[in-house]
Structure 1
Amino acid sequence: MTLNPADDAFAGTLAAELPDNSLRRAEPRYLEEPRGRWQGSSGWVALPRSADEAARILRACNAARVGVVPFGGGTGLVGGQVAPDTPAPLIVSLERMSAIRAVYPQENVLVAEAGAVLASVQEAAREAGATVFAYGAFLTAVINFFIIAFVVFMLVKTVNRVKSAAEKPDEVAPEVKTGPSELDILIEIRDSLKR
């Protein structure tokens, strides 16, 4: 299937079907992966406010055979928001669809729109009294614990080494025996055997 680009003519047609300020030129943040590894190619971004608007946008893209790249909260790091090897697609940003529709703390269920970011979801869950497992904070605490434990271990090990070295009595040099050397004794034995 051959795709057509989301060009100015398509944007004009689509803008006529949408409320004001629902379509705009693509800013760099929509075209770049956050780490700078990939660069997308699109001239237009659609910003629906509801599922109905999103459906109208997708119907228009399907009819015109224009590719679509979804854009959620903008926090992904997999390059999914860029399409470098296709005709310029339409980016459908779901960032305006960020409402928390319902929270059911007894069931640990939260219904959120596609553009809701994790911080907003966790805040809404906390406010409703639901259990929130903030795994990022948990992992940070675990990593910090291991770093501090390693530093304390190395410190205790060093203190113990210094302490044991200070407690050891100075080593005394071995006594030097005076008297005949081994060679002298061997010569004496040889001489006595000759007699």
Structure 2
Amino acid sequence: MRTRLLQTTIFLLMALISIQKVRAQIYGETAFLQGCYIEVAVAECGVYGSDDAVPASGPFGPYHDNVFVGLGFVADHEKDGWDESTGAGEPDFCGDYFTPGSPEEGWAIEYDGDEWYNHYVPCSAFSFDIDGAVVGYTDTGGYKSATWEGEIDDIDLGITQYTVFPDGALFFLTSVELCNNGATDMVDVYYMRNVDPDQDQPVCGTFMTTNY
């Protein structure tokens, strides 16, 4: 009896450890994705950037947020180590790209003259029109990914956003799937994305950027 009880206890403990590992990079309402050279946060409204507390550590070590508003997107652009600069006065890494100042990264849907917006960090009030949540995180086969799902109930439009990148990349990919869940055909549905780039503002002290 004791042996069976011990075996059951060990099994339950291992199951709990496995669950913790699968969800280890979803903190609060945010998915945190860490590769060798980039780190990205996906918020509860599908925006890149979060004010949720950054995890103490990820698959490759500590995270590298450098602003008070959590994490958006940072990169070890020279691939020479997160604590190594390319020269005197140069930053150790680039970013945060999205969260300095008044954090702005977001997206919108337009249909039949109506518009819905999810933008700004944190997701709240006027900046959170489309209900949804982070529903999954994976770390497998050398890739990190997060899935966000939401819906615009007024028009029965489902939205699924996939964020993925290889462990060794300096970029991440965003794929968005729009699904008509209603009985009426939909035409002229528009999707857009925007960002207010403030990369390296914590280092150089200015919000000015040169855009090409």
Q: TM-score range by the shorter chain?
A: under 0.3
Max radius of gyration: which structure? 1
Structure 1-normalised TM-score?
Answer: 0.23
